[in-house]
Amino acid sequence: MIAGELVVANDAEDLATRAVRFIARQIELSPTFRFVLSGGSTPRSLYTLLGEHRELPWGRVEMFMGDERFVPLDHPDSNFRMVRETLLAHGIQPKAIHPIPTDGTPQDAAERYETLLRSISRNPLFDLNLLGLGEDGHIASLLPDQPVLEVRDKLVAVVPKGRSEQRITLTYPALESSRITMFLVSGKAKAAMVKRARAGDISIPAGRLRPSGSVIWFIDRSAAEN
């Protein structure tokens, strides 16, 4: 199931171009488009390029975040700040943007995002879930050896340990509830994890994902070398 379709790009520029073309097509075909955004460094070029397509019907698009560091939304480490400085920097006007809140306590913020997601009366929750892949096999902030990997009764959870800062993440049930799951992976350092994840290796967080919809992997040649 998680192996899905594989698209191998020549380099980082080609990877972003191919991925943007695919996402743009999905936006054009969808009367409403609920889009889960990934953080990290890999999607920066994709977001910048996608945001330049101002002709797309952005008024159909609702944006959500797959995870967030529990820092202010204008903090340099904020995933949402990265999205704002890339995808949203070109003046596009989505129907709605839903950053994960990072005020109050982490638990309170997670519960508020949970309430938002549960207010969506559709199955699957999302149209496209964009995921990265860490060198340790993590997706979103589903980190190795953390209790959040076992959470099945919530859509959003706090990840208090495993990194230098606390995080809030969508859980497996939320990440799996998407019409399309799209991985974006670059670099030789992640090649082994791509292979293990696509094989469904449950010893890493990515390998435990069981999406309800279709899966497509966009990777560069270095990430395919294994």
pLDDT, averaged across the chain: 96
pTM: 0.96
CA distance 90 to 73: 19
State residue 34 phi and psi, 5-degree precision: -100, 120
Q: In this model, does residue 226 exceed pLDDT 80?
A: no
pLDDT recorded at residue 19 = 98
- Chain-centroid distance of CA 14 in Å reads 20
- Helix extents (H) in 119-219: 172-176, 191-198
Q: Say which residues have a Cβ less than 8 Å from residue 101's Cβ, sequence separation at least 6.
A: 109, 112, 113
Tokens of 201: 């290796």
95-118: per-residue pLDDT in tens?
A: 999 999 999 999 999 999 999 999
Q: Say which residues have a Cβ less than 8 Å from residue 42's Cβ, sequence separation at least 6.
A: 132, 184, 185, 186
Tokens of 4: 């899905």
